[in-house]
A and B are shown apart, each in its own frame.
Chain A
Amino acid sequence: MTAVPEPEVGPVAVEAPQSEVTVQVEDPAIESRGLTVSYGKKVAVREMSLRIPRRRVTAIIGPSGCGKSTYLRAINRMNDTIPSCRTQGELLVDGEDVYATGVDPVLLRRKVGLIFQKPNPFPKSIHENVAFGVKLHYFATKEETESVVRAALVQANLWDEVKDRLGDGALSLSGGQQQRLCIARALAVEPDVLLMDEPCSALDPIATAKIEDLIFELKKDMTIVIVTHNMQQAARVADYTAFMYLGRLVEFNRTRDLFEKPREALTENYITGRFG
C-alpha cells in the first residue's frame, strides 16, 4: 500500500486522493490479509483483507450469518476454542501475525479484549470479576489490586453505581451494569484493542446509550472494533465502518461516507433496508 502524505490527518487514516470515497489506513492496529475462517466445510469468512485504524472505532455491519462475529473472534483467536474451526491467511495485530507458530493466544488475549453479546459476569462478587484478570497476570498486593479494580470501574463508568457494594454478587446488577462490569473486567488488564460483539443487543436504549458514551471515551486510549446489527449504532459510534456480506468484505470506509455515499449497490441496499 502506498503511503500518502497528508499530515493533518495524522498517521492513522489518510484519504486516498484519487477518490473521495475510498479510505487508506496507515499503521493499522489490526490488519487481515486474505483471512479465511471455516467451520468444517462451511466457510464463514472468505479472503477478508481489512486494515483497522488505531485508536478509532470501527464497526462491522452486515446481515445475520455474514461472518462478522467470526471475523471479530478471529482477531483474539477466540475461535481456537471451537474444535472444527480452521483459520487461514494472515491476521496482524501491531504488525505481528497472531496465527504464526509460536504465538501464545493467552498473551494475545491480554492485549486484545473481547466483550460478548450477552453480559457474562462470573458468578462471583463485583470486585472479584474485575480483579480476575489482574490476579492472573500480576502478583499484585491487595492495595494494588483494589486500585486497579477501582480505576477499571471508573473507566467503565460504573464506579459510582457500585462503589458501596463491591462485595455483592455481580448477578445482582442490571443487564446494562453487568455489561459495563464486563467492560471493566476487560479494561483491568489494560488491553490495546477492545473487540465488542454486539455488546448492546441484550440491553435497553438507556443502557445502550451508556455503553455508547463509554465507547466514545475509550477510543482515546484504544482501538475498538464493534460488531453490530444496528446500523444506527454504527452510524453513531463508529469512525469507520466495514460492511460484510456472505463472509466477504463488501465495503470499508469512513462511516459517514459509507452511509451517505456507498460505492457498492449491495451496501446501499443493506443500509437502506432493502434486505437484512
Chain B
Amino acid sequence: MEWAFAGLFGACIVVAIAVLAILLGSVVVEALPYLTPSVVLNFASHRPETAGYAAAIVGTAWVVGLTLLFSLPLGMAAAIYLEEYAPRTRLTRLLEAGVSNLAGVPSVVFGLLGLALFSRLLGLGFSILAAALTLTVLVFPYVVITTQEAIRAVPRSIREGALAVGATKWQTIRRQVLPAAGPGLLTASILAASRAMGESAPLIVLSSVIFMTFLPLDPMDPFVVLPVQIYGYIGLPQEEFRGVAAAGIVILLAMLLSFNSVAVLARNRMQRRRW
C-alpha cells in the first residue's frame, strides 16, 4: 500500500516536470537558430532575419527596475504597519482582506486602472513611468503578503529580547525583526520581479509600442517589454517569427532566472544565521 501512494505522488511530480521540460525543450529547439547576437542587439523589424529585442530588453529592465523600486518599499512598509502597528480592529482585518483580494484581481483590470489613473489623470501618458506604477499596484499585494508572513515568522522571543534591553518599537523592528525576516523579504522581491517581468496584458492596455526602434533612456519615454514584444512577433504572418518569438522567451527566462538566482543566493547566505 505504502509503495502505491509513493508511486502515485511520484508520478504526479514526474508528469509536472515532464510537461515543463517538453515545453522548455521545444522552445529552446525552436529558438536555437535565432539565438544570435543580433536578436539581442537589433531593434524590432518586420523582417524575421533582422528582428531583435534590444528595445524590449532595455524596456523590461526599466519597467521591472522601477516597479521594484516603488513596490518593495511601499509593500514592505504597508506590511510592517499591518503586522506591527495596526490595532487589531475590524478595519484592519478589512484592509488585510482587501490586500489579499487584490492579489486575485485579473491583471487586465490593473491595466485599465493604470490607463485611467496614471496615463490620463496624472498625465503620464504611455510612458515607462506609467507602466511601472501600474505594475507597482499589481505586485503590491504579493509584496505585502510575503513580507507579512516573513515578519510573522520572527519569534516573539526575539522582539521581547530587544524590548527588554530598552529598545523602542521601531528599533526592535529595524534592528532585529527586519534582519531576521531578511530571507522572507528577498522572497518578496523575487515574487514581485517575477510577476512584473512576465506581465503583458496590462502593458498592452497601456499601449506598449511593439515596433520600437530606439532605446528608452528616460522614464517618460515610450516602452516595450519582452512579453509584449514576443506577443507582437507571434501575431506576424511569417512562419519564421515563431522562432524569433521562441528566442525572446529564452531571453526573458534567462533574465528572470538570473535575477532570481542572485536573490536566492543572497537568501541562502542569510539563512545560515537563524535562531
Contact = CB atoms under 8 A, between A and B. Distances in A.
B165 A189 contact: yes
Contacts, number: 72
B164 A114 contact: yes
B161 A109 contact: no
Contact of A132 (B88, B155, B162): B162
A40 to B, nearest CB: 12
A171 B166 contact: no
Interface in A64-104: 76, 78, 81, 83
Interface string B138-176: 000000000000000001011111111111100100011
Contacts of B274: 123, 171
Interface string A185-214: 110110000000000000000000000000
Most A C-beta atoms less than 10 A away, residue of B87, B157, B159 = B157
Interface in A122-139: 122-124, 132-133, 136-137
Q: Which 3 A-B pairs have the closest CB atoms?
A: A110-B166, A133-B165, A120-B157
Given A122-B158, A122-B176, A123-B180, A78 B163 contact: yes
Contacts of B166: 106-107, 109-110, 133, 136-137, 189
B234 to A, nearest CB: 49
Interface residues of A, number: 28
Contacts of B163: 78, 81, 109
B273 interface: yes
B5 interface: no
A109 B165 contact: yes
A118 interface: yes
B275 interface: yes
B160 A81 contact: yes
A34 interface: no
B158 A106 contact: no
A186 B273 contact: no
Contacts of A188: 165
A185 B167 CA distance: 12
Interface of B is mostly: helix
Interface in A110-163: 110, 113-114, 116, 118, 120-124, 132-133, 136-137
A132 B164 contact: no
B115 to A, nearest CB: 42
A159 B197 CA distance: 52
A78 B164 contact: yes
Contacts of A113: 164-165
B162 A122 contact: yes
B273 A124 contact: yes
A118 B165 contact: no
A79 B165 CA distance: 15
A116 B157 contact: yes
A70 B179 CA distance: 29
A106 B168 contact: yes
Contacts of A76: 164
Given A109-B163, A109-B166, A116-B160, 16 more contacts: A78-B160, A81-B160, A83-B88, A106-B167, A106-B168, A109-B165, A110-B165, A114-B160, A116-B157, A123-B179, A123-B180, A123-B275, A124-B179, A132-B162, A186-B165, A189-B165
Contact of B165 (A83, A123, A132): A132
A185 B161 contact: yes
A188 B161 CA distance: 13
B88 to A, nearest CB: 6
Contacts of B167: 106, 132-133, 136
A182 interface: yes
Contacts of B160: 78, 81, 114, 116, 120
Contacts of B165: 109-110, 113, 132-133, 136, 185-186, 188-189
Given A110-B165, A113-B164, A120 B273 contact: no
